[in-house]
Amino acid sequence: MKHGRWRFLLGALVPALVLHVVFVLSPYAQAFWLSLTDWTGVAGEARFVGADNYVRLGGDSLFLDAVRNNALLLIVVPLVTIAIGLFLASMLRTSSARIGQGYRIVFFFPQLLSLVVIAVLWGFVYNPNTGLLNSGLRAVGLGGLAHSWLAEPAFALVAVMAVLVWSSVGFYVVLFSAAIEGIPRELFEAALLDGAGKWATFSRVTLPLVRESVQVAFVYLGIAALDAFAVVQVMTVGPGGPDGATEVIGLSLYRTAFTYGKFGYASAMGVALFFATLTLAVLALRSGRRERLELA
């Protein structure tokens, strides 16, 4: 049996490991090296330039726009999504099973769609003349609020945020309501008997007990906000416009590499994005390490 054991293990592990090393590990490792070179894609002509690319990033105004926009997305999108998600999930708790089931089905729809489909759809919704939003506003007599949502610098990023929130709320409603269902009913009944109002019940019972799910949600939504590539690339003018108003790091990287061929410089952007992601994950996971509530 000994012999067969090793043959099986090799057969099980080697193909996946080869794929992993060739297509995942080696590109990640190469990216760190490339970020220290001025490589433009010609084989063998990567010159080591040390930290030059990173210094240049600090003075690249479009890249700084991208960092600012990603930071804004990172603050707004998770907060708004989690707030709406928690609100709807605690509303679902009090509704009847059948109605709740129906709402869960509908809320989850956007989660199934590719971000490209969502971006094309919302491009139509935001269309200044024929879009759902402006024509709806005009239909109810609020035509004065109609805007060229994606063409005005003041609204373009907000429009992107709205799409990201719209596309993710449903998933977190389902996630949070599963976590809320896991809370023993007696706790809510006890809170009710102790005279806790709706807000007190939510903030003192529900929220502490779904804390881990909220933390996971922050990490996932944060990572999505640091990306935002597909929505921006497909939906916004330019893309990334108007005038850098919706530029994001991923888009800068993509353009720098595959339009301008500055592969070393683009890799430095990738490394910057990696450290942003890492910092986010570490911060979010450590902040919750304090005390764990144990249910008796």
Partner 1 sequence: MTLLQTRRTPVEAPPSPATKRTNPLPGIAMFCWAVVTALPLLWAVISSFKTDDEILNSPWSLPASPQWDNWARAWTAASIGRYFLNSLIVVGAALVLTMLLGSLVAYALARYEFRGNRLIYYVFVAAMFFPVFLALVPLFFVVQQLGLLGTYAGLILVYTAYAVPFTVFFLHSFFRTLPSEIAEAAFLDGCSHGAVFFRVMLPLARPGLVAVGIFNFLGLWNQYLLPLVLNPDPDRYVLAQGLAALSVSQGYRSDWSGLFAGLTIAMLPVLVAYVAFQRHIRAGMTAGAVK
Q: How far is the CB of 89 from partner 1 (least distance, A)?
A: 10
Q: How far is the CB of 37 from partner 1 (least distance, A)?
A: 11
Q: How far is the CB of 130 from partner 1 (least distance, A)?
A: 5
Neighbours of 71 (CB within 10 A): 13
Q: Which is nearer to partner 1, 95 or 287 (CB)?
A: 95
Q: How far is the CB of 123 from partner 1 (least distance, A)?
A: 7
Q: Which is nearer to partner 1, 142 or 278 (CB)?
A: 278
DSSP states of 254-265 as a string?
Answer: HHHHHTT--HHH
Q: Which is nearer to partner 1, 58 or 197 (CB)?
A: 197
Q: How far is the CB of 29 from partner 1 (least distance, A)?
A: 8
Residues near 48 by beta carbon (within 8 Å), at least 6 away in sequence: 36, 37
Q: Which is nearer to partner 1, 74 or 257 (CB)?
A: 257
What tokens does 157 get? 């990023």
Residue 141, phi then psi, degrees to nearest 5: 80, 15
Q: How far is the CB of 288 from partner 1 (least distance, A)?
A: 14
What tokens does 152 get? 């005005």
The sign of the torsion formed by the CA atoms of 237, 238, 243, 247 equals positive
- How many helices (H) and strands (E) would you count in the chain? 15, 0
Residue 60, class by beta-carbon neighbours within 10 Å (0-12 exposed, 13-18 middle, 19+ buried)?
middle
Q: Which is nearer to partner 1, 123 or 240 (CB)?
A: 123
Q: Which is nearer to partner 1, 1 or 295 (CB)?
A: 1
Q: How remote is the C-alpha of 95 from its chain's centroid? A: 29
Q: How far is the CB of 293 from partner 1 (least distance, A)?
A: 17
SS3 of 285, please?
helix
Q: Which is nearer to partner 1, 72 or 191 (CB)?
A: 191
The sign of the torsion formed by the CA atoms of 119, 124, 127, 133 equals negative
What tokens does 19 get? 């794929």
